[in-house]
Amino acid sequence: MNSSVSALPLSTLSPANEALTLRLPSALELKHQIPLNLLLTQQVAAHRQAVRAILEGQDARLLVIVGPCSLHDPESALEYADKLARLAADVSDDMLLVMRAYVEKPRTTVGWKGLAYDPRLDGSDDMAAGLTLSRELMREMLRRGLPIATELLQPMAAGYFDDLLSWVAIGARTTESQIHREMASGLGMPVGFKNGTDGGVSVACDAMRSAAHPHRHFGVDSQGHPAIIQTQGNPDTHLVLRGGHQGPNYDRQSIARINQDLRKLAIPSRIMVDCSHANSAKDPLRQPAVFNDVLEQRLQGDRSLVGMMLEGHLFDGCQPLSANLRYGVSVTDGCLGWEATERLLHTASLALHRQRRSASLPA
């Protein structure tokens, strides 16, 4: 033990050094407060199975995770959900659309951490209200018939939402975390691990292999008590490419190299491309070009490309937090507006439909 620390008398340990703690409801309490009925529970199970079927090649549709970079305004989020639900029905033969419902945001230094942390966007950090609002909002999206996706950043928060989700992302900064790999191993839905911020996939490959195995780890049970958690391993993990410091990694050469790496490690070749972040040079209006490039690779026969991710909101771009926010515009990463998103996905659905119809015709 460090003697300079052990020699400190107890009287020198000021209460000012102690963290302030405020008790939250347990995950079980919040689930009882905002429950899922039997119909919604069955819907989530069916959506999870649909995602699994696409990952396993049993369903030829394209998986598309689409929606706001982060949820910050319930009204605009639900307007987007209404539009997406109608579009999802239109393209359902060729695509499975899953709505992004991101309520936690990783911060490089400081900044707004998401709806679950600061629902009033004013630094008051009323996390109890944030968890409640986030769960209510996700449930409303489920009632519109949509599968829901989110990034799980804080493992302690996962239990508040895990019964609502059909797909989960583990971000580039947390893919290397043992705690997140353990958490993923016990989740009941498919999980996508993003490549590291350097653009390499080795960390994500390690994460997928770890999450596929059973674990025993420290955690919190549904009643909020410290517990030993035993997991069975998650067979439904896959790779999400988001580019890196050196630029994009969705081009044909990168995909071929990554598939070779996956085969060497005996990891199933199922890849989702994030059309945002470094793959679009953080320009939201470049996402359609990325999407169409990847779509063309798939149309030309690369079945390892099982899905794509788009950051979209009602209107293009982003805005800083202020007292006068523009409606339907992201407050985190820039997004593609609804009109362009709808046009892109309709066009892609037609291309997939033509290919499917051509393949079914006799030679």
Name 219's Cβ contacts closer than 8 Å, sequence gap at least 6: 155, 182, 183, 226, 227, 228, 229
Q: Is residue 95 part of a domain?
A: yes
Q: Give residue-wise pLDDT tens across range 13-36.
A: 556 667 788 899 999 999 999 999
Of 65, 67, 61, the C-alpha closest to 92 is 61
Total structural domains within the chain: 1
Could you give the C-alpha distances from 132 to 24, 34, 35, in angstroms and in order?
A: 11, 8, 11
pTM of the model: 0.93
Q: Is residue 14 part of a domain?
A: no
Confidence (pLDDT) at 358: 84
- Residue 357 phi, psi dihedral angles, 5° rounding: -65, -40
Name 182's Cβ contacts closer than 8 Å, sequence gap at least 6: 210, 211, 215, 217, 219, 229, 231
- Please report, for the domain that includes residue 300, its CATH number: 3.20.20.70
Q: Is the pLDDT of residue 113 over 60?
A: yes
Q: Is residue 328 part of a domain?
A: yes
Low-confidence winner among 14-23, 117-126, 152-161, 225-234 (lowest mean pLDDT): 14-23
Residue 229, helix vs strand vs coil: strand
Confidence (pLDDT) at 16: 62
Q: Is the pLDDT of residue 6 over 60?
A: no
Confidence (pLDDT) at 356: 86
* Contact call for residues 261 and 201 (beta carbons, < 8 A): yes
Q: Is residue 104 part of a domain?
A: yes
Q: Is residue 4 part of a domain?
A: no
**CA separation for the pair 298, 95 (Å, rounded):** 13
The angle formed by the CA atoms of residues 247, 248 and 249, to the nearest 5 degrees, is: 125
Neighbours of 127 (CB within 10 A): 18
Tokens of 190: 């498919």
Q: Is residue 121 part of a domain?
A: yes
Confidence (pLDDT) at 183: 98
Low-confidence winner among 14-28, 116-130, 312-326, 342-356 (lowest mean pLDDT): 14-28
Q: Is residue 19 part of a domain?
A: no
Q: Is the pLDDT of residue 89 over 90?
A: yes
Average pLDDT of the segment spanning 139-152: 98
Q: Give residue-wise pLDDT tens across range 155-209.
A: 999 999 999 999 999 999 999 999 999 999 999 999 999 999 999 999 999 999 9
Q: Is residue 118 part of a domain?
A: yes
Where in the sequence is the domain holding 177, given as residue range(s)? Answer: 25-357
Helix (H) or strand (E) holding 62: strand 62-67
